[in-house]
Amino acid sequence: MARGASNHSRPWTEEQVQQLRQLAEENTPTRVIALRLGRTPQAVQSKASSLKLSLKPTSQRSYGRSP
């Protein structure tokens, strides 16, 4: 289990779901969301998928291109 997964096997609270929605909307990386919520990145991805939330960054530069 990853460090910081203090909520392992515990149900998601409404507050955590709202925080997940907000962080996903802000394009926060999955690993950072996981640390803030005390979950594993896989748990965050799974919950986001069940909520139909996209965790893919929307404003990312193309690979291999300079700014």
The parent domain of residue 37 ranges over 26-52
Please give the model's pTM, rounded to 2 decimal places: 0.75
Give the residue from 20, 18, 25 showing the smallest Cα distance to 58.
25
Q: Give the list of residues 6+ apart from residue 4 with CB closer than 8 angstroms, or none.
A: 34, 35, 38
Within-domain flag for 6: no
Within-domain flag for 33: yes
Within-domain flag for 46: yes
* Helices of type H across the chain: 14-25, 30-37, 41-50
Q: Give the list of residues 6+ apart from residue 57 with CB closer than 8 angstroms, or none.
A: 27, 29
Within-domain flag for 30: yes
For 19-31, the pLDDT digits (tens) are 999 999 988 999 9
What is the CB neighbour count within 10 angstroms for residue 47?
17
pLDDT at 61: 56
> Mean pLDDT across the chain, nearest whole number?
83
Structural domains counted in the chain? 1
Q: When comparing pLDDT for 6 and 47, which is higher? A: 47
